Amino acid sequence: MSFPIFQVDAFTHIPYRGNPAAVVVLDKMQPDEWLQKVAAEMNLSETAFVAPNIDPFKRVWQLRWFTPKAEVELCGHATLATAQVMFSEGFAKPQETIRFDTLSNELQASKDSGGWIELNFPTSKIQTTDPNPELMSALGIENSNLHKAVFDQDFDYIVELADEKAVKKLQPDFAALSKLDCRAITVTAKADENSEGNPDFVSRVFVPRLGINEDPVTGSAHCYLSDLWAKKLGKSEFRAHQISERGGTLKVKLLGDRTSIAGRAVIILKGKLLK
């Protein structure tokens, strides 16, 4: 048994930046235990597994995402990485809209002439929530505007800070963050006027509960940041920058109950998974 495997840097066109993901192309979806072992072996924030749909008459691909510790319901950068592999390696035609069957229902990916791949995800609406002293203490900040993005089985905290500088200088206590009853913590602020790439807003995302202290670039977080910043800036299209050490750039468009997220990606490794 062997399968093609790739490592892809997503939300960047520059190798060794953006968010790396592994992509495994299967002939059919494999057992959960094996998928989890492969993801742990790859030891990246996410490994994506893509396989033809069970129904051969439907041009839809099964897509699942695993961290080294658990399966997740939605992963933007690993979806982008998967689409890049499928377009560049001939699994999809250049003008095709790829359809993925996932735990977040059907997702789609298409590629424009400039090499940007546009993904279409469900919008995660935000809601304000009560102060959380443990969260603020773990982030090392005073009280800030706090929101939640609620999913079927979990939620993310969104912490709004005063400016980009405040986001950059955070030094979280990851052990304390990992004890919080949430999936992830996203901190965000309006971008400075002289910010690189002229984004509208910036963010950082921490996911220590799933074994990822800081995620380099998080597509799924922008499914609720689109809702937050649409309300604050009074528009629906944004350029966003995630200011992790590796960094990444996204084009984000709020489409009501859907959010379009576009990015570029580069394959840096190809091989065969032998076991």
Give the residue numbers annotated as catalytic, written as ranges: 46
Question: Would you list the DSSP string of 88-132?
Answer: HTTSS-TT--EEEEETTEEEEEEE-TTSPEEEEEE---EEE----
Can you list the positions of beta strands (E) in the chain? 3-10, 19-25, 47-52, 61-66, 71-72, 98-102, 105-111, 117-122, 126-128, 145-150, 155-160, 184-190, 201-207, 212-215, 237-242, 248-255, 258-263, 265-273
Compute the distance between CA of residue 103 and CA of residue 207 in angstroms, rounded to an integer: 19
Token pair 């206590």: residue: 173
Q: CA 6, CA 78: separation in Å to the nearest integer?
A: 11
172 in Cβ contact with 199 (< 8 Å): no
- Check if the beta carbon of residue 73 is closer than 8 Å to that of residue 151: yes
C-beta of residue 123 within 8 angstroms of C-beta of residue 254: yes
